[in-house]
Structures are given as structure tokens and as C-alpha cells.
Structure 1
Amino acid sequence: MTKILVTGANGLLGQKLIKLYSDRANVDVIATGKGEDRNPSGTHTYKELDITSKDEVLKVLGDLVPDVVINTAAMTHVDQCELDPVSCHQLNVAAVSHLIVACEKAGAFLIHLSTDFIFDGKDGPYREEDLPNPLSKYAESKLESEQLLKDSGLKYAIVRTMLVYGVVHDMSRSNIVLWVKKSLEEKKQIKVVNDQWRTPTLAEDLAKGCALIAQKRAEGVFHISGKDMLSPYDMATATADFFGLDRSLIEEVDGSIFTQPAKRPARTGFILDKAKKELGYEPVTFNEGLAILKSQLDHV
């Protein structure tokens, strides 16, 4: 029996991991997060945990002694990180240093989530070994957390991902697909940028990628995302077409019309060769992802 502890278990990726592991008899999964458990009741156990508290992290991991820790907790709102760098550092850097210490004591393998934003977007799509050049406080904090792991003596994996979309069962989380769908259903006009490029990631694919790493104890850096290179405008029109909504409500704009505190990289996207070869990772297409999302919305 493998004991896997998930931080940030109330978030989109956290909930997908808890669901994925709920069907596996050989895994004892412990969900942790701030506040009460927002996952559907199932085979997991839940423990409140504030990962910015070193004492809490040491106590919880010391009591539970997990084999694998998957750290999905982070401050991911890019502009909020720019405006509140202290909180950003606490959650994205200091908390990771607490987890490293606790994992060393427990003998646990740590899987840590990072981001495409560590790159400046001039040369995308990117391989794992390409040189980072962060443009924002958020990106700097995630790169710093990566370095903490590389400098530690811990067995670890870093999972970089981007633009994750999907459905949580209580609809407490939104993302670009759900925002576009809801706006168009309400006949609202929306402006969507056409000058940024990403490989958007279905949350289920990201959870599968993390689970493959956990199963193989695969060490190092892995790029885990979708396979299609799309702009947010491409994603919005594909969403409109898939759900039979009025795409004329979507106005194609460039990023210069938005005043945002944090800079965004123009063109990221990932080359997935390493994850495919070493993990057997195979993501769905964006349209297949929309079909999965639709089937889940039908059951919410």
C-alpha cells in the first residue's frame, strides 16, 4: 500500500488527483487543504493543513509519514502575486522549504507543481532543459521553489504545466473554458487575446501525469500539458463552436488593451517528448478535452 498525501486538495488539480486515486485499491490517499474538505466523500481521508506553517507541515507529515507528497497548493493568481509579493513568497517558496524538510524526515518523494511562466515566451514551445527567464513575481517565486528542490538532497520531481482547465464537482473553480461558456450563454460580449500562445491542459491529464511520476518515482523535471498550441482566442472560438454558442460575441484583441500588473510571456507551450518517452504520458486534444468537460457538466 502506497501512502500519498496531496496538498491543495480542494483545488482543481487536487480534486482530480483525489478522484483518480479513489479507484485504486493499492493507494491510501490523504487529502490536505485549508478549511473543510470540498471533495465528494469517498475512500480518502482529509486533514486540514496550512503549508505556510512550518510547525503544521512537520507535525502532519511526521504523524502520517507518507511515501509520496504531491504539492498542488500555490498562489497562482499572477497579478495578485505582483501586488502582494510577501504572500506570494510565503505560499510559493517558504512553504516548499517546509515541505522539503518534512519530506526529508519522512523519507517521502516530493512532486512539486511549477509553471510555463518561468520562461519569457520568446522561444516557445519549450523543453525541460531550456533556460528560464521569469517576467513576474509569480514566475520568480515558482523558479525559486524549483531551485530549492534542486539544491536539496531530496528525491523529487518538478511538474511544469500551464493553463489548466476542467470542472470541479461543486463548481467552486472557474477557468477560461467555463468563463467563455458562461459568458456566451448569458449573451455577453467578451474580449479575448490572440497574441499569447499556450498548450492548454485538461486537469485529468495533469493528474494522470502526476500519478505516472508517483508510480515510477521518476525524478527530475517534466513538462506536462495538452498537445495543441492555441491562443486564448482559439480556445474561446473552439469552446463556442463545441457548445453551439454564438462566436460573434467574441472580440479578438491583443494583450495591449489590458492593463495588468504582471507581464505574461507571449508564446510558451511545451514539447512533451520526455514525458511521453519516460512516463508513457499521452494527453487528449483540446476538442477531446471539451467533450470530457461537457460530460462532467452534464452530471454536475
Structure 2
Amino acid sequence: MTSTQSTKRILVTGSNGLLGQKITDLALLNDNVALIATSRGPNRHPEKNGYTYVDLDILDGDRLRKVITEHHPHTIINTAAMTNVDACEHDPEGCRKLNIDAVSSLVALCEEFGIHLIHLSTDFIFDGKSGPYAEDAPPNPLSLYGQSKLDAEEIIRQSTCKWTILRTILVYGVVADMSRSNIVLWAKGALEKGQPLNVVDDQWRMPTLAEDLAQACILAATKEAEGIFHISGNDMFAIDELVAAVADFWKLDSSLIHRVSSSTLSQAAPRPARTGFVLDKARHILGYKPRSFNEGLAIVDQQLLKKSQTDNANKK
């Protein structure tokens, strides 16, 4: 891809993840974006052409500097993080390194080279007592994960580089190699196998289609929007309602869904009860247009169908 004055060079960290792969999909459709996709290990995206892929562990500061000085990005979208909430409680050092220290390194480099940093954060910076939340609501994280993401936000907000923080909620979607699971694929897979599911009925979320979140990332980059934006789906569900909606969409047996209280689960990290976001700022400034949950499930269904057809064709 040739670089012109109007072309925006965007470096993405964690490009092998669900969001990272969806950003790659969108960048390939945008002639004004030159993408440098970076992640640990080999490239998992099925399309290998039309962008640059770099094997990068962002915890390797020297390597990170070398990649940035070599590719001169205008924008860095940081999707890399330890996002398993319970794993963060069990491995606070690993959580700190990836969710805080790596962000400090990125901020320093963005300040040095005049790069716009777009960072992904989470609804878990809130305690869930008064959702849905606007961007200026006071944070009060309940878990190490939530605290680590809030600490990273503070580092970014105190920096002198151009910065954007996109907070999101419960991201779902499909990647080609099925290397990333999420609540929709988990629920669908278990119900298809006839497995009973214990699902909490006392937590509420606004699930986010990965394609919508990727679109928000690209919009923030191309519009050079600064500040904090809340990015999620339109629809609020209790988690058991969300799983029931998955069962209903694919005509699966909803009697397998057993509703339980959060207190009955032996989870290492506490979860906020009701989060959800007010999306007015993202709609107005970014032009963000999230799909409904049913529209999101239809997109997931089409992608799973396409994957199944491709797999079957490859077997012949």
C-alpha cells in the first residue's frame, strides 16, 4: 500500500485478537489507511496482503521502539491487554506489566514521536452501582483488572501526546481461526452440545459487536478525535437474558439455562452489577452507529456459515 499525504499510517498492537483482526478487516477496505498490524507470533489473519504484519511483543521495549521508528505511524491503536478478569487476580504482576507498564512505554514513545495514541479500556473501571455511565462518571473499580485499566487511563490522561480512550463492554464476534472465544460463541457452543449452563441473573451489560468497536477505532483515528468515548452496543441485558437471546436466535434449548446469583460462583474477581454506557458523545463526535444485538448475532451467524463452507471446501 503506497503512502500519500492523505494516507493515515495506523499501527495496531494485539492484531491477532478479535478486535485487532476486525480492525485489519476495516483497514483493508479503507484506501486512506496504511495498516501496520503487530502481535506476538505469526499473523493469524487469513488475509496476508494489503498491509504490513510485524511480530511484536510490546513488553520488549527495545523492539517496540525499533518497530515504531521503522514504520513511523501517525496513530497507534493499543488493543493488547490482559483481559481475563480472574487471571489478573491470580497474576497481578503479569497484569501490571501488560496493562500498565506497556502503556507507559507506548505513551513515552507517542510523546517522543508525536503519535496519536488510541487506547482500549473497559466498563470494569466502574463499580456497577449506577450504570449506564457517561464518560465523566467517577470510576471505582472492584477488581485488579479494572484498577489496572484505570491506572493506564491515568497515565494516558497525564501525557502530552494526542490521546483517545475508548471504553467498551463485553465484546463478541468471530475470527477465522476461531482462536478467540466470547460469551456469544461460548453460549451457542454449549447449548448446541446440550450442556446445562449456570448463568448469572444479577449482572447487566450492553454487549458490543467487534465490528462496531473496530469501526469506532478507525473513526477515532481518521477523525483524530481526542478524549474519552464510551463504545458499546445499544441493548442492555442481564447476562441470563443475553444467553437466552442467543438460544432464541439459533433456536436452541433455553431450558438448559440455569439462572444463578453471582454470589454462588467462586470467581476470583468481583464483577460490577450494572454497567452499560451512555453513547451520545460517540454518536455525535465520532458518528458511531452500533448495531442492535440481533443484528450483531445475524452477522456472527453469516460469518460462521461462511467459515463452515470454507472448511468443507478445503476438506474436498
**Which one-letter code corresponds to 2:113 in the other structure?**
A
Deviation readout 1:134-185 (Å, 9 max, x if unpaired)? 1111011000000001111010000000100000011111111111111111
**Which one-letter code corresponds to 1:193 in the other structure?**
V
RMSD of equivalent CA atoms = 0.7
Q: Find 1:33's aligned residue among 33, 36, 39.
A: 39
Residue in structure 2 matched with residue 61 of structure 1 by the alignment:
68
Residue in structure 2 matched with residue 20 of structure 1 by the alignment:
26
Residue in structure 2 matched with residue 285 of structure 1 by the alignment:
292
Residue 76 in 1 paired to residue 87 in 2?
no
**Which one-letter code corresponds to 1:28 in the other structure?**
A
Cα shift at 1:44: 1.5
Partner SS, residue 6 of structure 1: strand
Q: Find 1:8's aligned residue among 14, 24, 33.
A: 14
Residue 180 in 1 paired to residue 196 in 2?
no
Take 1:257 and 1:42, find their aligned partners in 2: how far apart are those partners?
48
Q: Which runs of 5+ in 1 are unaligned?
A: none
Partner SS, residue 124 of structure 2: helix
Residue 164 in 1 paired to residue 171 in 2?
yes
**Which one-letter code corresponds to 1:44 in the other structure?**
Y
**Which one-letter code corresponds to 1:32 in the other structure?**
T
Residue 296 in 1 paired to residue 314 in 2?
no
Take 1:186 and 1:55, find their aligned partners in 2: how far apart are those partners?
47
| Count of residue pairs the alignment pairs up | 300
Q: Which runs of 4+ in 1 moved over 2 A?
A: none
Would the aligned equivalents of 1:61 and 1:103 in 2 still touch at CA under 8 Å? no
Take 2:98 and 2:88, find their aligned partners in 1: how far apart are those partners?
10
Residue in structure 1 matched with residue 276 of structure 2 by the alignment:
269
Take 2:32 and 2:153, find their aligned partners in 1: how far apart are those partners?
30
**Which one-letter code corresponds to 1:19 in the other structure?**
D
Take 1:4 and 1:262, find their aligned partners in 2: how far apart are those partners?
34
Q: Find 2:197's aligned residue among 185, 190, 193.
A: 190
Cα shift at 1:57: 1.3
- TM-score normalized by the length of structure 1: 0.99
Residue in structure 1 matched with residue 128 of structure 2 by the alignment:
121
Take 2:122 and 2:80, find their aligned partners in 1: how far apart are those partners?
13
Residue in structure 1 matched with residue 234 of structure 2 by the alignment:
227
**Which one-letter code corresponds to 1:6 in the other structure?**
V
Percent identity of paired positions between Structure 1 and Structure 2: 56
Partner SS, residue 237 of structure 2: coil
Would the aligned equivalents of 2:111 and 2:159 in 1 still touch at CA under 8 Å? no
